[in-house]
Amino acid sequence: MSNSIRVAVCGAAGRMGREVVRAVAEASDLILVGAVDQVEVGRDAGEVAQGKPLGISIQSNLAEVLSTIRPQVLVDFTEPAAALANIQTAFAHGVAPVVGTTGLTEADLAQVALWVRETGVGAVIAPNFALGAVLMMQFAQQAARYLPDVEIIELHHERKLDAPSGTALLTAGKIAQARTAAGLAPVPAPEGAFERTPGARGASAHGVPIHSVRLPGLVAHQEVLFGGPGQVLSIRHDSTDRRCFMPGVLLAIRKVIGRKDLVLGLENLLD
Ligand code: NAD
């Protein structure tokens, strides 16, 4: 279709990238025009993703793909060490990045915000594109106003490179924000914790303890546990199949077009 949104995928041979290739190919208003990865180079992206060719071969040089193929949107699901450079390359070619790669630091996000201002090209960065995960965070924010004691357990497959997960860090930040907005003191620090083994009480982000589990068999899961006298509230989300992220990714592709700002989090794209 001539007015379809032209999309390139970076990390096209990865677990998430292959899902994105499939989802974009199936969407009638989007067209896959480029695929980039460091592995499976030269192979057809559709063949790699779904065993069915799409006529788009995986290439290794992102800048070359962007300058010759001129997509409107670059979807990045690579790795923390690569994402910032890929985003910079996208802006250099006037291409709007939609980034699912996690592990970007606050400094990285500030840098992206600067590039957005300098280029006037919009961007979406979301550590979790699953609608259920967004709702989990919203419910946690709601509960944080009433139940001060909270811990997060996040569980992912064993090949995840970053810990804690981007979703856990975002949830902790939102809990802290909700408490501040409600005029409550910061999350109380656990007192008198003597760790017989260092790290036993987890890491701490925005004062919220986070426990990261990595095991084969898991995809992406998170439980936010609130405790109060005589009660525990548990808010849990499980991604059991990477397809759950695709409606959010497709929404971001459609909505980033024409934007001139940086959107952080899928929740900021929902009506
Ligand atoms: P993966 O290892 O299966 O795939 C990553 C792919 O990126 C690999 O094929 C690798 O070769 C490629 N790659 C690495 N560096 C590259 C570069 N510089 N240029 C081109 N390709 C490069 O990982 P995955 O499970 O697909 O996860 C990818 C990222 O997405 C991770 O950061 C993960 O945490 C994140 N993730 C985000 C969400 C979300 O909803 N936002 C959901 C799941 C995973």
Would you say the CB of residue 126 lies under 6 angstroms from ligand 1?
yes
191: confidence class by pLDDT, cuts 50, 70, 90:
low
Of residues 233, 240, 235, 244, the one with CA closest to residue 266: 244
- Walk me through the domains of the chain, giving residue ranges and CATH numbers: 5-125+242-269 (3.40.50.720), 131-239 (3.30.360.10)
Would you say the CB of residue 244 lies under 6 angstroms from ligand 1?
no
Does position 1 have pLDDT exceeding 60, yes or no?
A: no
- Give me the pLDDT at residue 12, please: 98
85 Cα nearest atom in ligand 1: 18
Would you say the CB of residue 13 lies under 6 angstroms from ligand 1?
yes
List beta partners, residue 150. Answer: 226
For range 120-135, the mean pLDDT: 96
CA–CA separation, 239 vs 138, rounded Å?
17
Does the pTM of the predicted model rise above 0.85? yes
Among 9, 19, 21, 78, which residue has the most ligand 1 atoms within 8 Å of its CB, making it the best to mutate? 78
Beta strands in 49-144 (DSSP E): 58-59, 73-76, 96-99, 123-125
Would you say the CB of residue 35 lies under 6 angstroms from ligand 1?
no
Considering only CA atoms, which residue is closest to atom 40 of ligand 1? Answer: 128
